[in-house]
Amino acid sequence: MTNTIENKILTRIKKAKRGSLFFSDNFSSFGNPETIRRTLNRLVEKGEIDRVSLGIFVRPQIDKVIGKVTPQIENIADAIARRDKARIVPTGAYAMNRLGLSTQVPMKIVYLTDGSARKIKIGNYTISFIRTSPKNVAAIGKISRLAIQALKSIGKDNVIRAEVEQIQNILLQEKKVCLEHDLRIAPAWIKEIIRYPLEKLKNNEQR
């Protein structure tokens, strides 16, 4: 019976491309939680999958030079958000890193979410999901949502002109429709920063 469950789980895993993430509850239809837990542990021991964190696994991606490739933090966070059907947005130093304003990846990474609050350990990193109101995760632009959170982290009274100009230049890579949406929900002082690249994108369209 157990071997049948293991074969079913392994078959599903091998249908996914390397680097794909899985959760224990992805396999809940194959057996009870304890059986699934033991089966996944065996597959870790056999090297078929790696444990990323408690209840989170990956079919390892292999690079010819460096060997196993560790899943990126944002990919893990996005997978959790998809599972929970939640919206998330990185904040603080991690938002600044993702935006390219900082090269340092913080050890403690914080996401706002309209889903469940939780904290998970990924190697030396800790990812915290902090529940917030839906309006705080309503931005839709991949770049503009990072810009809004980075600016909030810096603060209205602390942001310098060079940072504003750098962020505005980065925002020129955002989709116009996303900037239009996110402009409406941004704090007033951040609206003024977003408005310039939006107007520039509109002017470029009219030429």
CATH at residue 10: 1.10.10.10
Domain final residue pick, 138, 171, 196: 138
Domain final residue pick, 138, 153, 187: 138
Whether residue 201 is predicted with pLDDT greater than 50 in this model: the reply is yes
Q: 113 and 53 share a domain? A: no
- Residues 8/2, Cβ–Cβ less than 8 Å: no
Give the number of domains in the chain.
Answer: 3
pLDDT bracket for residue 62 (50, 70, 90): confident
pLDDT bracket for residue 69 (50, 70, 90): confident
Distance (Å, rounded) from C-alpha 185 to C-alpha 166? 21
Residue 93's alpha-carbon distances to 33, 97, 137, in angstroms, are: 37, 6, 17
Q: What is the pLDDT of residues 8-57, one digit of tens each?
A: 999 999 999 999 999 999 999 999 999 999 999 999 999 999 999 999 99
Q: What is the pLDDT of residues 70-123, one digit of tens each?
A: 899 999 999 999 999 999 999 999 999 999 888 888 999 999 999 999 999 998
Which structural domain range is residue 181 located in? Answer: 139-207
Of residues 54, 48, 13, 47, the one with CA closest to residue 30: 13
Give, for 53, the enclosing helix (H) or strand (E).
Answer: strand 50-53
Q: 173 and 204 share a domain? A: yes
Domain final residue pick, 92, 122, 138: 138
Q: 168 and 188 share a domain? A: yes
In sequence order, the 6+-apart residues with CB closer than 8 A to the CB of 163 are 101, 154
